[in-house]
Amino acid sequence: MGKALKPIVLALTVLLTAFPVFADGEGFVRFVLNKQVFDLPPDAIASSRVIKDFNNQDALEVTVTPDWLAPLSDFTQGPQGRTISIYVCGALVAEPVLQGRISGGRFFLTGDGFVIRKAALFLGARSCTTLPNS
């Protein structure tokens, strides 16, 4: 194996071992709120991209498809100030405090930049078992 490929293979190996492998669709994006669980399947993700937040840190912008707007909004309704755990492919990505219901079908995840970028890869591939060729 060439010298240039070794670091790439090592980086992908580290990346994959940090995220558990689930069957596609099984807890692809999972929200846990007050012991209640809401799962989004891969086809519920309309788009995802890494952006810079107001502190110039990596953040993940996720938009759901129109079919999932109401279910996501219903799940996140209720009192503000509750902590919600958000998982991608079984790995905890963020635990934000809800400031209000997610009614527009778009949400942002901030936190460790490495975790945010890994989650973006899985969301972009729409799979917990296959990463895009990049």
Residue at 131 is within a domain: no
Q: What are the pLDDT digits (tens) for 40-53?
A: 999 999 999 999 98
Q: What are the pLDDT digits (tens) for 61-108?
A: 999 999 999 999 999 998 889 999 999 998 899 999 998 899 899 999
Q: pTM for the whole thing?
A: 0.76
Residue at 134 is within a domain: no
Burial 8-40 (b: 16+ CB within 10 A, else e): eeeeeeeeeeebeebeeeebbbbbbbeeeebeb
CATH code of the domain covering residue 48? 3.30.1360.200
Q: How many domains does the chain have?
A: 1
Residue at 130 is within a domain: no
Q: Which domain holds residue 54?
A: 5-125
Residue at 133 is within a domain: no
